[in-house]
A and B are shown apart, each in its own frame.
Chain A
Amino acid sequence: MSSVEIRNLILTAIALGVCILLPMADSGYWLSIGLSIAMFTVLATSWALFSGPTHYISLATAAFFGVGTYTTGLGFETLPFWSLVALAGMFGALMAALVGLATLRLSGVYFVIFTLGLAELVRQVITWAQNQSGQKGLYVLTDITEAMIYWMLIALAAAVYLTGWLIGRSRLGFALRIIGDDETVAAHSGINTARAKVLLFMVPGAVAAMTGAILAPRYVYIEPSLAFTPMLSFQVVIMALLGGTGRLWGPLAGVVPFTLLWESISSNFPNQTTLLLGLSFLLIVYALPRGFVGLLDRLRQRVTGGVS
């Protein structure tokens, strides 16, 4: 481990420590903002772990998230909560593996639309099953507080960062970088591209499902249209791309300003929220084509005199 890496590790640990203290400072409004940030950090970072190197845009986040919320919704009366989160992670990973095996040979836009269709398919099947079984609405009435949910998400975020870091150092990460540069070259140099991609796709699958499972007690009432809302998938993509997917911390650089922007628009312009959010998306796409990471890199280049 180089000294830079050790420094980064220490800095990360300190940052996490600071995050953990948030519920002590404020248990109301800022905690709920912090919770949004933590949730989207987890989702966007894990999304970027897969989509960054492979350039596949996945809109399946809502599918995994919804499966996670339903895992908690159906099981919270019989099983301890932590086991549900683990279970949700397994469901998510399994689902991602199946989907990955079937679809990762699709490229570009086909994969995008496929993942979007997947979320809808899962939602339709679950709704139908719920209807068949005569299962009434799912009420997750627990004693889990927002602070506990927040801590769980922070822990999950730490795990995601650790995973990302380990992948970056591993053979898998190396293989993925080659795949991202040129898949044909990767295949010719003996890399099992399909296996690498499937393995990697399981990460966002598992993480999104766990996030859903953790958040279910916050929503209290689980219904398909809320658990599987396609908006979630889009939000994650926008935030990750806004930050930049090239670096592990890139999505975070998108999530924080975006959540705050979203919040300030919703609080100041209740009647034009949607309109202004749309305009700010457009501004981001046109003004920050490579996200904040790209912007920072450009600035750094200018400072160091364009050495690259």
Chain B
Amino acid sequence: MDILITGLLLGGTYALIAMGLNLQYGVARIMNLANGELLVAGGFGAFFFYTSGQVSPFLTIFLVAPAAFGVSWVIYRIMLRPLVNRAKSRGQLETDSILATFGLSFVGVGLMLAAFGGDYFNYSYLARPITLAGDTFALNRVASFLAAVVICGLLYLWLNRTRAGLSIRAIAVSPDSARLVGIDVPRMAAIAFALGGAVTAVGGALISTYLTLDASAGVIFTLKALIIVIMGGVGDVRGTIVAALFLGVVETLVASLIDPGLTLAAAYALFILVLLFRPQGLFGKTPT
């Protein structure tokens, strides 16, 4: 039970890391390698407001989200649209976006370094024990797990209950057909990309309450997010959530029962197995 809850809490963290990338990759077709930098920037926002004004990170997210949405929107319109337009095939867009966002991630690290130095930024927020089912857990992890549940829930409802969400899902399945039925694909793709950025930055703000970040830490989160998104199946919110929770539980199981030294190895082995036997991801549709 203890292991399960710990694993789910970790899974919540992973969902926060990966959810934004799923929107960006699934809908806008941009494999955003600068995702982790935005996450760290969100974490820095939370750190800054907490240390300078004692503002709770759970309030800061309402500032971080629109800011990240705006930044991501601009990035998509200015930098990534031209790539989408010039790409002759899906493969070329993937190559170009890998290269462009890799450059972007360098720029992100460089800007953050210039803005707030290379130091670790960490602070203590809600680092109190809370008892669930007879075991103790960190309150900040539980709180951000709940926030992750709310965010994922809202996203799911939005995608499945609104017209905009329907358009987005249509684009994820088939951009060309979406265009035929009168969906403004470029605009919706930009919205999806920006929304993905906002979710990632919010995730960063929440994660910073219990993880120690620094300007160069983004790449670790990008790698994890990529793996979760691919494992879950591209363009499916449920898949990402399931993959994130699954990974959290497996890592915790391995750490508690076998050897903590093998947690990451287990995660990658799991990922590789999923790819071998279900290359389209846990929830992905078979590619046509």
**Chain A interface residues (CB < 8 Å from chain B):** 55, 57, 102-103, 105-110, 112-114, 116-118, 120-121, 124-125, 127-128, 131-132, 230, 234, 237-238, 241, 271-282, 284-286, 289
Contacts and interface: CB of A to CB of B under 8 A. Distances in A.
Interface centre among B99, B102, B279, B287 (most CB of A within 10 A): B99
Interface in B84-102: 86, 90-91, 94-96, 98-100, 102
List the 3 shortest-distance A-B pairs measured between CB atoms, nearest first. Answer: A275-B110, A278-B106, A281-B103
Given A279-B103, A285-B83, 18 more contacts: A57-B95, A103-B276, A106-B279, A108-B94, A113-B226, A116-B226, A117-B268, A118-B268, A121-B268, A128-B261, A275-B106, A275-B107, A275-B110, A278-B104, A278-B105, A281-B100, A282-B107, A284-B103
Contacts of B226: 113, 116
Contact of B265 (A125, A271, A273): A125
Contacts of B102: 234, 238, 281
A110 B271 CA distance: 11
B8 interface: no
Contact of B99 (A118, A124, A285): A285
Contacts of A57: 94-95, 98
A283 B75 CA distance: 15
B20 interface: no
A116 B272 CA distance: 10
B182 interface: no
Contact of B272 (A114, A230, A275): A114
B98 A272 contact: no
13 contacts: A55-B91, A57-B95, A105-B279, A106-B275, A112-B31, A113-B227, A121-B272, A128-B265, A132-B261, A275-B106, A275-B110, A282-B103, A285-B83
Contacts of A113: 226-227, 230, 275
Interface residues of B, number: 44
B132 interface: no
B49 to A, nearest CB: 25
B276 A275 contact: no
A117 B105 CA distance: 19
Contacts of B279: 105-106, 110
B108 A278 contact: yes
B96 A272 contact: no
Contacts of B91: 55, 108
B59 interface: no
B96 A278 contact: no
A285 B261 contact: no
Interface string B184-220: 0000000000000000000000000000000000010
Contacts of B269: 121
B130 interface: no
Given A124-B262, A124-B265, A128-B262, A278 B275 contact: no
Interface centre among A105, A117, A121, A272 (most CB of B within 10 A): A117
A280 B102 CA distance: 11
A112 B268 contact: no
Contact of A131 (B95, B100, B105, B261): B261
B268 A275 contact: no
B4 interface: no
Contact of B95 (A106, A230, A241): A241
> Per DSSP, are chain B's interface residues mostly helix, strand or loop, or mixed?
helix
A110 B108 contact: no
Nearest to A99: B272
A282 B98 contact: no
B100 A282 contact: yes
Interface in B102-135: 102-111, 113-114
B55 interface: no
A303 to B, nearest CB: 24
B63 to A, nearest CB: 25
B223 interface: yes
A29 B25 CA distance: 43
Contacts of B261: 127-128, 131-132
B157 interface: no
A286 B272 contact: no
A285 B96 contact: yes
B103 A285 contact: yes
Contacts of A289: 86, 96
Nearest to B108: A278
Interface in B2-23: none
A282 B107 CA distance: 9
Interface centre among B90, B103, B113, B264 (most CB of A within 10 A): B103
Given A124-B262, A275-B111, A278-B110, A117 B272 contact: yes
A285 to B, nearest CB: 5
